[in-house]
Chains A and B, each alone.
Chain A
Amino acid sequence: MSVIRQSDPKGWTHVNDDEYEAYCKEKGVDPEKYTTMELLAIAAARQTYDFSFIFAGTGLPMIGCMMAQHTYAPNALIIMEAGILDPKLLEVPISVSEARGGYMCSTLSNMADTFGTFAQRGFCTFGMLGGAECDKYGNLNSTAMGGYYSKSARDDGKTGPAVRFAGSGGANNIASYADMGLAMMVQEKRRFPEVNEYVTSCTGSRGPLNTPEDRWHMGLFRGSGTTIVSDLCIFRSSPETGELEMSEIYPGVDEQLVIDNVSWSLKKAKDFKPFEAPKHEEIKIARMVCDPHRIYLGRKTKRELAAEK
């Protein structure tokens, strides 16, 4: 399969330099220095390619898919689960079901139809997701920690799960049907356990490859592995074992920091390489085109807040 990427910034959505400078001044951001959220959006967009189908979940993927459409993958088709196919995003949506997300889309249908007509039928190259927990085989937990059950269904006398998250939404389905998983996450050791307590979505191989524990032997008929874009590095599923391996590392990040922030003994991918620092053009587009109000990009990770102190 020949992959097409619009790698020449001349083909990207244009941003005027003077306007950009004025914007940075107004918002009090350094025109050259990128933040963690900007890095995540840019790194996710770089994983995509043109003419692919990007099924985007809510949260960070909104900015990730928009970034892709304005740079490397101008002809990629974005799908959102409320019924949207191939919108032209002018303003970042805050929901997978809002009018901003539906602008100039090809068709606008309903939720069951979107998963059926597009995902089940195979028009889902990348399943772009966020998650609360990610384990060694790329399983995401976005449901609960500290026991799944609510009070009346529990046996341990507790009133409910210790932490309840949002639940699957479309994440499980997007992960089940996507040819390739693509998740964006903030990396902390507790968020990267060896085995997830609750598996909401299998973005990767689910278990060791070619065993009864892998995704296909559990009944899923699609998928080939996953890419996890964290705020420290990029993980990819090993083609031999299915385990997540460190595949690319961001500039200025120490390998040991990545290793210390996962709960399994992390291996380096055979083709491990440094991640090319975000380009000026990418930062400009992330800021001025995708999220000028900084709805997503203005958020700070714990690590960033700690570094500021």
Chain B
Amino acid sequence: MAEATIPTFMRGKDKIMSLSDAVKTFVKKGTCICPGGFSYTKKPFALAREVIRQDIKDLFVTMNGGASICEFWAAAGLVKLLDTTYIGLEGIQPVAYSVRRSIQDGTIDVEDYSNYGYGLRTVAGRYGWPFSPCMSEFGTSFMDNDTFAKMGLRGKKADGSWIHPSIPPARAAVIEDPFDGWGLRPHAFEGGDGTSNQTNALEKVRESTAYTGKQGVKVILVPPILPEVTIILAQRVGNKGTTRIEGILGPDAEQAISAKYCIAQAEKIVTEEELRAQPYSNTIAMQYVDAIVEVPYGGFPGQVPYYYDYDWDFWRAYTQINRKDKAEVNKYIRDWVMEDEWTFLTTRPGDGYPTITGTKGLQRLFELRADATYGYKPGLARPL
């Protein structure tokens, strides 16, 4: 095997990289990229900002768990394809406006899954399975719509290669359960009085002829996700790649392990020994992490459990800004990220939007530190 084709980690090279080098090495025009984290929590915003600084266009974003990063990228006009489950910003803005506008005006093409449907795709991706079984999504419009198929992005080319290496040949498939629903009624949960599960309609499902034309229990199969790059944020990453995520995992581990490459943005790079003293608490095995970048507070304006809280005031202001004219929003977001992360973190927190205390830059970040008992900042003022 030629040395050049051997992955970086197997050549014993240092995985620790600068933010700009990590993005330059792994993210290219048109890359299928999977941002980790969930809505406001543990989002690798420093990496996301660097993608904007390097102006990497035509991204194919595949994601589960909230659209905050995708919102910034869409605002900067960098997204072309979207394979997703949810494009909202939850409690602060029900639909992320830049993403919404770009889908409505034809800038972004989108394929939809449900969270569990997509989550099962990440499970298949993690374990290298050809598919996962899913008992949800039956009876809905998910089953009747397939954007990527209509765009001709599924299947193989004449030369036998995949039309798009990160798009599976089918959105989903329905088969008859070869085990006749046996696994769907575990003995302890037959339904009704005395158990948690109140309903079990398996007998009615057995009469079903939907999707396959034959009577019996059906199962939806979903394909794995195979992104080229996943970006995640972890509180601590060992110098060889062992990763520990504290607090809510969301989709991070599965998405990181499914990808060809994973860039881990760390609050702190630590020695492997520090994490290997309690290996049962570690989240991602070392060989799945290809690049490590250390950016303390790089999750700003989001929340990193046990480290710092989200900047509520920023999001409140941003969700007004992103409703402005498209060109204006694009300019805003490109200015906002500044020339590098240090300049950003020392300047932008508390800058250009009102905060109750009036603090800015590092002082503002310091103010958002989490309380160790709660993992967030109790009593953080969150006015609407």
Q: A residues within 8 Å of B by Cβ?
A: 1, 53, 58-59, 62, 81-84, 90-91, 93-103, 108-112, 115-116, 119-123, 125, 139, 143, 148-153, 159-173, 176-177, 179-180, 198-202, 206, 212, 214-224, 293-296, 298-299
Contact = CB atoms under 8 A, between A and B. Distances in A.
Contacts of A168: 85-86, 112-115, 142
A95 B109 contact: no
Contacts of A119: 116
A59 B94 contact: yes
Contacts of B105: 159-160
B382 A216 contact: no
B178 interface: no
Contacts of B159: none
B150 A148 contact: no
Contacts of B66: 95, 97
Given A121-B186, A167-B84, A179-B198, 11 more contacts: A96-B39, A96-B90, A103-B375, A110-B119, A121-B189, A150-B106, A164-B95, A168-B114, A198-B141, A199-B141, A219-B211
B250 A171 contact: no
Contact of A83 (B249, B378, B383): B249
Contacts of B150: 149, 152-153
Q: Dominant SS at the A interface?
A: loop
Interface in B229-271: 247-254
A1 B94 CA distance: 37
B261 to A, nearest CB: 21
* Ranked 4 nearest A-B pairs via Cβ: A122-B197, A94-B91, A151-B106, A166-B88
A121 B303 CA distance: 31
Contact of B139 (A102, A161, A199, A298): A199
Contacts of B123: 112
B184 interface: yes
Given A121-B189, A160-B106, A82 B116 contact: no
Given A110-B252, A160-B105, A173-B115, A224 B199 contact: yes
B315 to A, nearest CB: 9
A82 B38 contact: yes
B68 to A, nearest CB: 10
Contacts of B192: 1
A282 B95 CA distance: 30
Nearest to A153: B150
Contact of B38 (A95, A116, A173, A219): A95
Nearest to A123: B196
B142 to A, nearest CB: 7
B201 to A, nearest CB: 4
Contact of B201 (A81, A220, A293): A220
18 contacts: A1-B192, A91-B376, A97-B65, A108-B247, A110-B250, A111-B64, A111-B65, A112-B120, A148-B141, A149-B147, A162-B104, A166-B86, A166-B95, A172-B116, A172-B142, A220-B136, A222-B199, A222-B201
B135 interface: yes
Nearest to B208: A217
B92 A221 contact: no
Contact of B122 (A112, A121, A143, A222): A112
Contact of B109 (A121, A152, A217, A223): A152
A218 B138 contact: yes
Interface in B201-238: 201-202, 204-205, 207-211, 217-218, 220
A58 B251 contact: no
A149 B148 CA distance: 10
Question: Chain B CB within 10 Å — which of A164, A165, A168, A176 has the most?
Answer: A168
Given A167-B87, A173-B136, A91 B115 contact: no
Given A83-B249, A164-B87, A202 B140 contact: yes
A293 B139 contact: no
A291 to B, nearest CB: 9
Contacts of B145: 148-149
A216 B186 CA distance: 18
Contact of A99 (B108, B142, B370): B370
Nearest to A143: B112
A83 B65 CA distance: 11
Contact of B204 (A96, A122, A171, A216): A216
Contacts of A108: 247-249
